[in-house]
Amino acid sequence: MEDPQKWPEIEKAATEKRRELVLQGPAVDRRVSHLGGLSSSIYSLTLLNYLEVSQCPSLSQIHEDIQNLTNLQSLILCRNKLSSFPDVVGNLKSLKVLDLSVNNLTALPEGITQLRELNTLNVSCNSLEVLPEGLSQCTKLSTINISKNQLTGFPDDLFSERLDLLSTLVASDNCIQTLSADVHKLTALKVLDLSNNKLSEIPPDLSDCPKLKEINFKGNKLKDKRLEKMVNGCQTKSILDYLRGKGRGRQGEDVGECDGGRGADKKKRGQQRKKREKAAEEEDEVEEVNKMVVKVLHVSDAPTAITVTVSAEVKDVRPYLVCCIVRGMNLKPGNALKRFLMAQTKLHDDLCGKRTIATIATHDVQLLKGPLMYDVKPPTQLKVVALGRKEMTAVELIRHLHLEAEELRKQKKRQNVTGLHKYLQLLQGKSMYPCLVDAEGHVISFPPITNSEKTKIKKTTKELFLEVTSATSLQTCKDVMDALIVKMAELNKFTAEHQEEAGSDEEGDAPAEPPTHGETSSQLIIQQVRTVDQDGNLKVVYPSKTDLSTDIANLTVVW
């Protein structure tokens, strides 16, 4: 029986002067329940710049001593039961990311408006009825997610020129009744989601947002029935064009009815609108040139489709998995492989929450022997040839990694470690480890630590098997896989373009090979992969029609 008074993660973070701390899950929740909150010792870890406490239903409040953690840049307190949050959050002057999603908050502290470095605010899935006035003081805000609350409107100052970096505003599933005409002041706005609210009108001024690429107003009962029909079925550009036309009509009425001063003002705004329209058209032309194509190959179209069987035992360890096969990824030229691996690392650090949310693994299809099995094994029986190593058990591998981590700290006098070492704590307390096994019984993936040297991708790899696992949710796996494929499409297009340049500019005896597919040489083909249970029942097929949203800028998905 664990001692609820002991917090080994906090003790270790203090001893090793760590900058990051993640506390989540049932074991942590039991301690929170016993103490009635977090251990007070957590508030003495003043070196922390990343703190996550999640999935603890017993956590209903955070002590004011949170203000002691002045070096925090990311504070993730999602999926708890917080009913309030201390106003002293305003003292965390370095905070860039604040995630309070999926809690029981009915109000936000005014102190949030004092966070001058804040760029991401996620308070979705709470019970908020109002937002604090003064968010425009957070001038570095880039993303706001306030979806699934009980909001009836926005603060008066939210649509301000001061928020000239705000690119994403998600406010779906609320009770919002009006959208201010001042929305056009958000000059960086690219994504606006106000679906499932109580709007009756959409201001024509929305069409003056020069960078707006994605809007969603579905689920609102609009007075303009033609617009409502367009909202439920049309693309963003068509809706904005319609709103722009309404704006011109209204402008003519205003000029006729108002005095000369107001007429002149409207004329000036009309000229500004034309300039923005022209700039947007030029930007659209550039984007058309840069458009990326992803073609989905159905399982039924692939005679040698790989299937993955998921054992029942993974349910208690790391239950969620999605896979697919990608063809057409050119890793051969220059630094293409290195760029791809760096992009994967960045996704691990950002979207995957430093592997705490999800983990990506990539394999060379030519080195895979299917069908595959996603299973669990005791640490002493799980044998794997980790990247760049010889075969050893999971116990031996983790012992080696711990020793290497300590040696690195001693040699380089570092407080943090890189590579595989910093993910070791994610397996603490697990009696069984997850693994992906091929038809010959070889472990080809050991999430969230490593995949196998046996299936390692190289410059010559032509087909990639992608795998994303998570203990959070199936949708998390899909979101990460979507992001990975979009990034691959971007990198492949970049490689193709630079290969063409190299073919025309490169000097030497051996000119670069020209692209073999002309204009579509950067096209990716995604082959669906089925995941089934041990009885052969379908669990998931990726990608499905609901994956790889076609609203992603510059991405065309061909089914």
Domain at 1-126, CATH homologous superfamily:
Ribonuclease Inhibitor (3.80.10.10)
Cα separation, 35 vs 45, whole angstroms = 19
The two tokens of residue 233 are: 């079925």
Q: Give the residue with greater pLDDT, 416 vs 82.
A: 82
Q: Confirm if 100 and 78 have CB atoms less than 8 A apart.
A: yes
- Mean pLDDT on 517-522: 45
pLDDT average, residue stretch 471-497: 89
pLDDT of residue 232: 85
Whether 397 has a pLDDT exceeding 50, the answer reads yes
* 311-325, 522-536, 544-558: which is most confident: 311-325
pLDDT classification of 341: cutoffs 50, 70, 90? very high
Is residue 325's pLDDT more than 90?
Answer: yes
pLDDT recorded at residue 69: 95
Whole-number Å distance between alpha carbons of 109 and 25: 26
pLDDT score of 248: 56
Looking at residue 422, its pLDDT comes to: 59
Tens-place pLDDT, residues 245-301: 876 554 444 433 334 444 555 556 566 666 655 555 555 444 444 567 788 877 655
DSSP for residue 208: G
Sequence-distant (6+) residues with CB within 8 A of 451 are 361, 362, 363, 387, 444, 445, 467
Q: What are phi and psi of 553, to 5 degrees?
A: -55, 135
pLDDT of amino acid 430: 84
pLDDT digits (tens, 9 = 90+) for 492-503: 888 887 765 555
What is the average per-residue pLDDT within 429-444? 92
**Per-residue pLDDT for 145 more than 80?**
yes
Q: For the segment 181-223, what is each residue's pLDDT rounded down to a tens digit?
A: 999 999 999 999 999 999 999 999 999 999 898 899 999 999 9
The model's confidence at residue 557, banded by pLDDT at 50, 70 and 90, is: confident
User: 3-state DSSP call for residue 460?
Assistant: coil
Residue 240 tokens read as: 């904005």
pLDDT at 551 over 70: no
Higher pLDDT, 349 or 127: 127
Phi-psi region of 503 (alpha: psi -120 to 50; beta: other; left: phi over 0): alpha
Q: Which CATH class is domain 292-504+513-558?
A: alpha beta
Residues 6+ apart with CB under 8 A from 244: 204, 207, 273, 277
Whether the upstream peptide bond of residue 210 has omega within 30° of 0, thus cis, is: no
Q: Read off the pTM.
A: 0.53
| CA proximity to 432, closest of 308, 312, 309, 316 | 316
* 11-30 tens-digit pLDDT: 988 998 888 888 887 888 99
Three-state DSSP at 118 gives coil
Q: Using the structure block, give the residue that is written with the tokens 């017993």.
A: 58
How high does pLDDT run on average in the chain?
83
Q: Do domains 128-286 and 292-504+513-558 have the same CATH topology?
A: no
Residue 384, pLDDT above cutoff 80: yes
Q: What is the mean predicted confidence (pLDDT) over 340-361? A: 89
Average pLDDT of span 131-158: 93
Of the listed ranges 27-31, 65-69, 402-406, 551-555, the least confidently predicted one is 551-555
Query: Domain boundaries in the chain?
Result: 1-126, 128-286, 292-504+513-558
* Contacts for 167 with CB less than 8 Å, ≥ 6 apart: 142, 143, 188, 189, 190, 191, 211
Rounded percentage of the chain residues whose pLDDT exceeds 70: 82
Give whole-number Cα distances, 158 to 155, 346, 502, in Å: 6, 31, 47
Annotate 317-358 with DSSP letters as a single string.
Answer: T--EEEEEEEE-----STTHHHHHHHHHHHHHHTTTTTTTS-
d(CA 73, CA 61): 20
Most confident of 151-155, 447-451, 548-552: 151-155
**d(C-alpha 307, C-alpha 331), whole Å:** 25
Tell me which architecture the domain covering 128-286 has in CATH.
Answer: Alpha-Beta Horseshoe (3.80)
- How far is 445 from 428, CA to CA, in rounded Å? 18
CA distance 559 to 557: 6
The DSSP result for 6-22, as a single string, is --HHHHHHHHTT-SEEE
**Angle in degrees, 0-180, between the axes of helices 474-505 and 336-349, rounded to the nearest 10:** 150
The DSSP letter of residue 223 is S
